[in-house]
Amino acid sequence: MRARLVLLGSKGGPAIRPGGPSPTSSLLEIGGRTVVVDCGLGVTRGLTDAGVSLKALDLIFITHLHSDHVLELGPLIHTAWTAGLATTVRVFGPPGTRDYWHGFLQAMKFDIVIRVIDEGRPDLRQLVDIVEFAEGPVLAEGDLAVSALRVDHPPVTDCFALRFDHAEASVVFSADTAYFAPLADFADRADILVHEAMLTEGVDRLVARTGNGARLKEHLLASHSFAGEAGAIATAAGVGRLVLHHLIPADDPEITHAHWTAATRKSWTGALTIASDGLVVELADESSA
């Protein structure tokens, strides 16, 4: 398995529009492991389109419980189960993840019970192991180490950037955050920094289109980073490549790659990728190890 990062869903926020991209989810294939980071709407289709057998589902990480990061967690696991999943999936998420999962099982109780009886499937409840994590080391297994940093995403307090370290590559996900200087230390010399980003020019038009104007704009400005701020973190951290992800706006025809690049170049001169659904970043080419 070639180590790779696939941006499955690249937009920030839960709404989808005709022809537009999907909310946030990513696939990280590293050290022979299949790792899913965030489960926004579309993650299941995104994984299968990326060639992943749902039976191979292994590790899932949720950065925080906003719906654009967790809405399809239950449906992903349930669909993998109907596709023949027979090994334990471990889900690492913030406090509240276990409640989400139990609520999902409750909502789908009729179907789950009937498939166990009627189709002889293993009990879905016993196939999933939920681990609620806090800041610090999250997982160390074989050559893979994962750690978390609490970031600045009000009013959500349990929102965590994640760092994956392996000989093949080190990859950091910012999660959703306003400009947060400590992220630079956390991402120190990572091969890849996947950072959320919004674009000044697009925010006003997005707010006008969405219809809850002032409040939405207030949330965006207090809780998210502009592309130039993502670039500043990348520069301070000295990463190998910056990937702009969780784009706001992501489906404005007047906003092109040139706008994102121009905004980021003010603070970052290194390798740059602007996410789109299904985009692959090969990690073998990135690792300095």
Q: Please give the residue ranges that form the binding site for Zn ion (CB under 5 A).
A: 12, 66, 68, 176
List the helix and strand counts (H, then E) for the chain.
Answer: 10, 14
Rounded-to-integer distance, Cα 200 and Cα 259, Å: 10
Question: Burial letters for 21-44: b for 16+ Cβ neighbours within 10 Å, e otherwise?
Answer: bbbbbbbbbbbebbbbbbbbbbbb
Residue 154 structure tokens: 């009000």
Q: φ, ψ for residue 111 (rounded to 5)?
A: -65, -40
Output the smallest distance, CB 173 to Zn ion, in A: 12
Helix ranges restricted to H, 128-274:
182-186, 200-210, 213-223, 227-237, 257-265
CA 267 to chain centre: 24
Output the smallest distance, CB 24 to Zn ion, in A: 6
Residues β-bridged to residue 6 = 27, 280
Residues β-bridged to residue 157 = none
Output the smallest distance, CB 228 to Zn ion, in A: 19
Output the smallest distance, CB 126 to Zn ion, in A: 31
Question: Burial letters for 176-198: b for 16+ Cβ neighbours within 10 Å, e otherwise?
Answer: bbbebeebbebbeebbbbbbbbb
Residue 75 or 270: the one with the smaller Cβ distance to Zn ion is 75
Output the smallest distance, CB 72 to Zn ion, in A: 13
Output the smallest distance, CB 156 to Zn ion, in A: 6
Residue 62 or 124: the one with the smaller Cβ distance to Zn ion is 62
Residue 11 or 33: the one with the smaller Cβ distance to Zn ion is 11
Residue 14 or 75: the one with the smaller Cβ distance to Zn ion is 14
Residue 41 or 112: the one with the smaller Cβ distance to Zn ion is 41
Output the smallest distance, CB 153 to Zn ion, in A: 6
Residue 9 or 31: the one with the smaller Cβ distance to Zn ion is 9
Q: φ, ψ for residue 152 (rounded to 5)?
A: -105, 95
The strand order across the sheet containing 33-39 reads 128-132, 89-93, 59-61, 33-39, 25-30, 4-9, 279-282
Residue 176 or 191: the one with the smaller Cβ distance to Zn ion is 176
